[in-house]
Amino acid sequence: MPARTSKEQEEKAVLLYQQGLAVPEINRQCGIGGGTLDKIRKRLGVPDRARNHYGARSPTWTGGRRVTKDGYVMVYLPLEHPLSSMRNRAGVAGEHRIAMAESLGRPLESYETVHHINGVRSDNRLENLQLRLGHHGPGAALRCANCGSVDLEHYELETAYERQN
């Protein structure tokens, strides 16, 4: 037969619950498990903590940034953000894509990719990023064959062809 809890244990457990402490920690401090805590909480009229909240309202919110197993930094973008068209289904976009889009002043197209020049996927400084069309391989970077500059600009091939004629 399980041991009965004292009134002090119950009050302390409910107070910790209301302060947002995780149930395993409440169990460690008070010796009251999740099922017993639910019964006590209901008996005392303490409302259940809000669950299934997303974004900043979630108890597991980490500020909207996380690093994927591949090393990319992903950032949460709310629907009202000007670059929200770049979000995936989870509501996040790559920090490198956001940095490039902000520097261009427009959302990136789906066929545009952003290359990390030094290969470090979490290094999202603008000087380490290059905008590319289509997929690119690892370790590839563009530079001028004559002067070695990486300060390149995009231009339409038709315009360059017309200039030659």
Task: For the chain of 165 residues, list the mean pLDDT of each consecutive stretch of 10.
Answer: 76 87 87 87 83 64 85 92 92 94 93 89 93 72 69 58 57
The predicted pLDDT at position 92 comes to 92
The predicted pLDDT at position 90 comes to 85
* Dihedral angle, C-alpha 28, 31, 35, 41, nearest 10 °: -100
The predicted pLDDT at position 159 comes to 47
Rounded to an integer, what distance in angstroms lies between the CA atom of residue 151 and that of residue 153?
Answer: 7
CA distances from 83 to 49, 94, 97 (A): 33, 11, 10
Domain 63-164 CATH class label: alpha beta
Rounded to an integer, what distance in angstroms lies between the CA atom of residue 97 and that of residue 107?
Answer: 9
- Per-state percent for the chain, helix, strand, coil, to nearest 5: 35, 10, 55
Domain boundaries defined on the chain: 7-43, 63-164
> Is the pTM here over 0.75, yes or no?
no
Which residue is it, tokens 């949460």?
76
Rounded to an integer, what distance in angstroms lies between the CA atom of residue 75 and that of residue 66?
Answer: 7
